[in-house]
Structure 1
């Protein structure tokens, strides 16, 4: 006979944990099934390891760059001890996996199964069959099910790529030596972060992209990052699509042929990193058997309440094809538990969702872009404030970047904020709370001197005053 639970969760990442925690506090029995490493993408192969290495690379870059930025400071940076760096990263990952996942699960006392989960039964009475490493199969029946299996890096199928070999955002975090040269395919947030990371560790980096850097953000973002990358020796090739790859038997390098603005060019590097997006992980779940619809890329199609086409099966996080942020997955997980067991009838709303890319300077944004406002038929008024008008940036000796505010020209209501700056993520977080306020309200609000957040107030004042004519704190 099947073991019965209130909630069965496939996956063990942030969405799974948020759902399990909330369901447990509602007095529900929970079982969590994981076929890989416990804790999901973020702590194991995503946010935590990548940001740990980015921080290390920035420390090295600051040491190498401090003499130029700060008169009187004389520093230099030695070559990187990559095994030690990766070892430190892995120690952090294992510590957080233990403290924030394994220990948390133990404290709530829900059940954990290790194995491959597959749906069986019929749509009205779905069950899960869990196959363990020993081949034994356990059947689980639940009142509600949550698919929180995340996503994985995706690579296109072009000639020779598999044979030549390539890195993904996951395997790049495991390298034990810094490649002398690196070719990055892609222009999204993963590509940008990884390109700068390895350049700062000592690689000669070339980026091939179809469109422009951070193409979903304001065009000013692309221009600012292009200048930063150029200053740091990163070559950016636009309107480039890789078509072939081969590993040179003599040099060991990978040779990639790309269509660049209609003509073919060859690019050589010791390693190729494919950062062209991710795809939801739904293979092997047998979703057709329980009438769960999937989309073009295998994502579980859900309603605004995160319920699938089977009323007893929900989905959360990357597997839904929704924005791929760990905090979105966690928000989803809590919402599923409340909708499933507390009749909350909550819906997902991304209006105030902040987004951050951890380059240096970082990209932070919230709300609409200028193009989105115009496409919606709204009259747009905007200001772009270069960072040389922000006292904190002057003190940091780093004025690369800007703060942009976009507003409804008829009402003065702020509809979006974008920044390229140190601590741009914090600016985006502050931006969550100014959306819907008027330019005048923000311009007249308190702002502590010598903070980056003060730049938001200055950008608001720029709608009525030339910022070059403002004194400090005015």
Structure 2
């Protein structure tokens, strides 16, 4: 018997799955799993049955068979491996991917250890999501107190004590790190080894002069801020996303090189706290990977709020001038100098792989230093897996945790789980926030879809009207034939809370009609999803409240 996975187009429901399974059964296939949501079928065929016979059977059932792949059987569960090893599973790193993998591996009965050279918990809880989002909330409150849209309300804000805010942030970080990471080590019974890990060979690492062997390894060492090569930058003091969150004194002016989600969030944070912020971006528009409507809405929002945005920048040099940093730039041929007390570098992240001695382990890396893995998270060394930011996939802690769990299932459980990142939601916690899932219009067209889109301005969403915050939009991208939702993109208050519903729509193949036929609570931002669906063939401005 050989196991296959084959791409199948045309399935739209569970009934279609049954038709495909019946067609495959008729030619002798067994252990069949058909999924209309993933557009695929997996099954086993006797050695004397050719895969082309299966493809023909699917086509005769009025579905379209695509390419087929042989699913090579993985080794038996690692706990059954022979040999004398110190551990079943050694994990390098202690962030979201590492802890998710360790917990899952322990549940298989494996002997597990995590190796950490610094602070337990990784980026998210220590220097990323948690500290930045709590400070962002503080900034929002300060901004609203200084300026609100309601007549009759007299609100004001005093001087910001950044040192107190940072102290409170640090207390929260410590508490969450203890609860969500450190305390779990004893709870689940895996070991924490302190020190720098370096591979000696394919099955051995060295930590603090101690050599340790394992049946399987997971590399989950994360990533760190990347610093661009700009003349003079190395000679001036600059901030990264890590050091910025530890400032004790609010700068009067802040220049930000970069305009991705980190630059956007931290730039707006300090704007809301009272700094004068300038965002500098090489490309002609911010958020260039997003649909143009998203970029335009966010540009409008931050400009209205008083942030200075300069696009089309060429960096010439950076130098110090007294207490100020001077960024010498050229904008479409015009030379300018941007001066600021503090300079934030937010131009992306790079994987932490340099000190691992991966060559000794025969683990291949890419051009950016990222560890290359297959769909099962296996590296070029079948003993070694990698997950999370070190692979330079979507840089979200929930993706890292998802990958860590799959890595443990495959490495320790002997399963054949593939990573599926087709419906990964992403949120930028600006105000208004930005949330996306699925394909952009351009991506959908590149994949061969005939696309139908709807763009709903935020001033057509009742929640936005009552909030008096109407800069933003909802955009749906759908297959014009089936009306299957391919992507959802939102700029709105609480967009991050809305995007989970959109993620379910994309992941499970819901259609625009499914959204239209679902009840949406009135005066919630989530109602914008339904209104955006109605916008495909109606003018929602001519509907009464809840008439959809």
TM more than 0.5:
yes
Structure 2 partner of 1:387:
458
- Counterparts in 2 of 1:141-180, with a 5 A limit? 141-180=213-252
Q: 3-state DSSP class of the match of 2:490?
A: strand
The one of 165, 182, 194 equivalent to 1:102 is: 182
- Pick from 155, 161, 164 the counterpart of residue 75 of structure 1: 155
- 1:6 is aligned to 88
**What SS does the corresponding residue of 1:144 show, helix, strand or coil?**
strand
Secondary structure of 1:259's match?
Answer: strand
Instruction: Give me the whole-angstrom Cα distance separating, in 2, the residues matched to 1:384 and 1:365.
Output: 14
C-alpha separation in 1, matches of 2:123 and 2:512: 39
Partner of 1:452: 525
After TM superposition, give the deviation of residue 243 of structure 1 in Å.
Answer: 2.5
**Structure 1 residue matching 2:530: 3-state secondary structure:** helix
3-state DSSP of counterpart to 1:433: helix
Equivalent pair of 2:85/2:215 in contact (CA under 8 Å): no
75-84 vs 375-384, greater mean Cα deviation: 375-384
Structure 1 residue aligned with 2:340: 269
2:439 maps to which residue? 368
**Shift in Å at residue 202 of structure 1?**
0.7
**1:111-260 alignment, distance < 5 Å:** 111-121=191-201, 123=202, 126-131=203-208, 137-211=209-283, 212-249=285-322, 252-260=323-331
Greater relative CO, 1 or 2 (CA 8 Å, sep 6+) = 1
Unaligned runs of 5+ in 1: 132-136
2:4 alignment counterpart? none
2 CA distance for matches of 1:84 and 1:74? Answer: 25
Secondary structure of the corresponding residue to residue 537 of structure 2: coil
Q: Between Structure 1 and Structure 2, how many residues are aligned? A: 461
- Comparing 323-332 with 371-380, which one deviates more in the overlay? 371-380
Q: Is this contact kept in 1: 2:238–2:345, CA < 8 A?
A: yes
Residue 130 of structure 2 corresponds to residue 48 of structure 1:
yes
**Displacement, 1:3?**
6.8
2:374 counterpart of 1:292 = no
SS at match of 2:466: helix
**2:318 and 2:328 in contact (8 A); partners too:** yes
The answer to whether the Cα contact below 8 Å between 1:9 and 1:16 also exists between their aligned partners in 2 is yes
Asked if the contact 1:3–1:139 (Cα under 8 Å) also holds between the matched residues in 2, the reply is: no
Map Cα deviations across residues 220-276 of structure 1 (whole Å, 9 max, x no partner). Answer: 111111111112211100110323111113xx1001111322343211111110100
Calculate the aligned-residue CA RMSD, in Å.
1.1
Moved over 3 A (4+): none
Q: Deviations 1:170-199 (Å, cap 9, x if unpaired)?
A: 000000011110000111100100110010
Q: 1:357 aligns with which of 409, 412, 428?
A: 428
How far apart in 2 are the matches of 1:95 and 1:242?
41
Partner residue of 1:18?
100
| Aligned pair partner of 1:320 in 386, 391, 394 | 391
- Unpaired runs of 5+ in structure 2? 1-83
Larger radius of gyration: 2
CA distance in 1, matches of 2:126, 2:457: 37
TM-score (norm 1): 0.96
TM-score scaled by length of structure 2: 0.83
Q: Deviations over 1:390-445 (max 9, x none)?
A: 11111212111111111111221111100000111122111012222221221111
Q: 2:140 aligns with which of 42, 58, 76?
A: 58
